[in-house]
Amino acid sequence: MPIPTPSPSTNPSAPPAATAVYLPRDVVNAPEVKAAIARRSAERGDDADMAAWLLNHFFRWAIGSFGNVLPVQSPADYLAAAGPDKPLPEWLTKQLQPRAPAAQDKDNKEKSKSGKADPQALEASSKTFYYLDPEHLLLVDRERMLVEFLRSRRGTRLEQKLQRITCFMAMALWEQEHQRMQAKRKKGWVPSSGLALKELLRTPNGVIFEFIGSHAALREEMAYESFHMQHCLGQFANLKKLNGGYGEQYASAAQSGRLRLFTLRSAGNLPHVTISLEVHADGLRIDQIKGKQNRHPVRKYADDVLQFLRTLPPRGERHSDCEGMGLVFEPETADDTSTTQGQWKFVTDVRSPDFLLSVMSGNFHLIEHFEQPPPALQWLLLRIAPHKLARLRQMDVAVAAAARLTLPANRLPPSLQAASSEAPAAMMEIEGISLSAAVCAPLLLGAALP
C-alpha cells in the first residue's frame, strides 16, 4: 500500500535560524519517537550533554518540523501508518470520534450564554493528528549528521554552550560548513542532505524517494546518487557549480517537469536503483531503470521496483531495462494493444506462453529464476542460446537428450558432461528412436549453478 506524501502544510518553510522556533504539532506517537532517539543515542555511546541536546532540541524539531509525517484523521489512517500490530490508543480513539451535531450545537449555545462561545469549535472536532516513523531513514540520517557535526566541535566554544544551540542553529552551522566543503570535492563526491528528496513508497528493501525538481539541493542530490551508483545521472562537467555535462540534461528536464527522478535507498541513505520517468500528456513513460554502473538492478530489488511500477504506474509497455531485470507488463489478452489493460509482474508469473517466449528470447539470463522452466522455453534456449543451459535448475528429458546429440562435448553444461560419464550404457526409446539412457536421464541442475 503506498504511503501518502505529507501535504506542504506539514513541512512549513523554516524561518532564519536565529529566530526559528519549535512549532507545535500533534504527533500521536511522540513518546515513541523520543524513546527511539534515546535508544540510538545510547547505542552510539553519546555523552550526557549530547544525549540531553538530542532529547530536547532534536526531538522538538522532529515533532514540529520534520516533513515526512503522515496525517491521521481516522483510525484507518493510524493503522496504515503504525501497522496493524499497534492498537489505536484509547485517547486517540476518543479524539477521532466525530461529535454529534446536536451535541456541538448545545455546547455552542451554552458557551454563547456564558459569553465564552468558541467560533472554532467545529474545527477543533476535526483536528488533524500526525504519525512520525521513529526509524524514518531521513530522520535517522539527519540525527546522525547533526551528532557528527556537533562532535566535531568538541573543544570549541560551541561545545560550552551546546544546550543553548537550537536544532535550527545547528543545521544552519552545518550548512555553512557544507558550503565550504563544496570547494574541496574530490572525484565528484557531494554529500547528501536529503532535502531534495520526498518519500514516495516503502518497499521490502528500503524507501523509494522522488527527487524534488524545484528544490535548490536537487543537483547535489543527483551528484550524490551518481557517485554511489557510478552512472551519469549527476555527472556534471563543473563539479563546483554542478552544471554542464550529462547531469545538466537530466537536471534541466527534472526542473522543467519533463522528467521525474526516483531512487531506492536503504539504511544509511545508500542508493541501489535509479529510476527516471518521462512526463507526457497521456501519462508517465519509463525512461530508464538502472542499477549500479548502468547495469540491470539485481534480483533482490526487483520486488521493490515492481511495487513502484504497480503503485505509480507508468504506461504499460515493453522496456529493455524492465525486461532485463525480469519485470514485464503482460496485457490482459494476446491481441490487446492497450497500455492500461494488464499488469506489471515478474517474468516467472507470465501466463501467456507466446508472450513469455517473446520476452525470454532476448533475456535468457532470466532462465535461472524458473524453478521448472516450460519445455518450450527450454527448446528455445537450446536453439538460440545453448551456452545458457547451465543456468537451468531443471532440464526436460527430451531437451537434455537433444543437447547431447546436437552440441559438441565442449559446449555441453558441466552437469550434462558429468551425467554422461556416470550414466549406464542401457538403451531406451523415444517415439521409436533408440537412445542411450545416459542421454535421456532427467537432470536436476540446481547444484551446478554458479
CA atoms of 247 and 234, how far apart (whole Å) = 4
Q: Residue 331: helix, strand or coil by DSSP? A: strand
- How high is the pLDDT of residue 420? 55
- How high is the pLDDT of residue 124? 42
Count of positions (residues) in the chain: 450
CA atoms of 332 and 301, how far apart (whole Å) = 25
> Which pLDDT tens digit goes with each residue over 52-85?
999 999 999 999 999 888 889 888 889 888 888 8
Evaluate if residue 127 carries a pLDDT over 90: no
> Which pLDDT tens digit goes with each residue over 332-352?
876 665 566 899 999 999 999
Evaluate if residue 184 carries a pLDDT over 60: no
Least confident of 30-44, 73-87, 185-199: 185-199
Is there a contact between 162 and 151 (Cβ–Cβ < 8 Å)? Answer: no
To the nearest 5 percent, what fractions of the chain are helix, strand and coil?
Answer: 50, 15, 35
pLDDT band at 100 (very low <50, low <70, confident <90, very high): low
Evaluate if residue 381 carries a pLDDT over 80: yes
